Structure 1
Amino acid sequence: MDIDIQSFDIPRAVTVYPDRAGVRWWTKAWFNNREEGEASVEIEREQAIRFIHDNIEKDVWLEEFYPKQMEIYHNAIEQTKEQLLMNRIG
């Protein structure tokens, strides 16, 4: 049985932004529509440019800069899949 992961996916948003001088760059992420989001992480300018130009997929980016949160994300998806499978079987 295939399960469409899109039907129960957890929202994830991410952005990059510079300081006022455009010298230092950060990335920030939000999981599950939480208003506050995660702590910003300083990144290299070149990384920000690659992300802005869509040269890095969102989940790859999140895995690199927010690995603990992505581990929780993957665990939640797996638990949901297991629950759906058990409901279909039972």
Structure 2
Amino acid sequence: MVSVYPDRFGIRWFTKAWFNNSESGEAAIEIERQIAVNFIRDLVEKDEWLEEYYPSQMEAYRNAINQTREQLLKQSV
């Protein structure tokens, strides 16, 4: 899950992501307002967004998916 939100004055904008149902999630990252608006308007894909702002977490996610795929393929042989 990923979200964007402003500070209470609407001046600074942030993005935050949660991987593996983590309650606290990843550290929030400050972003530009227009970038946040583009995300809210669905002008940016979620995976593209996560790759940009949370690359190491996405790499771990991709590795886990690939390992699972390999295990399933081995089981079906």
TM above 0.5, one fold?
yes
Q: Spell out the pairing of 1:73-84 with structure 2 (5 A cutoff).
A: 73-84=61-72
Q: TM-score, normalised by structure 1?
A: 0.84
Say what the alpha-carbon RMSD is for the aligned residues. 0.4
Q: TM-score, normalised by structure 2?
A: 0.98
Q: Spell out the pairing of 1:1-90 with structure 2 (5 A cutoff).
A: 13-89=1-77
Unaligned ranges ≥5, structure 2:
none
State the identity as a percent: 65
Q: Tell me the number of residue pairs that the alignment of Structure 1 and Structure 2 aligns.
A: 77
How far has the Cα of 1:32 moved from its partner?
1.2
Give 3-state SS (helix, strand or coil) of 2:36's partner. helix
How far has the Cα of 1:31 moved from its partner?
0.7
Unaligned ranges ≥5, structure 1:
1-12
- For 1:61 and 1:31, locate their aligned partners in 2 and report how far apart those are by CA, in whole Å: 14
Deviations 1:24-43 (A, max 9, x none): 00000001111110000000
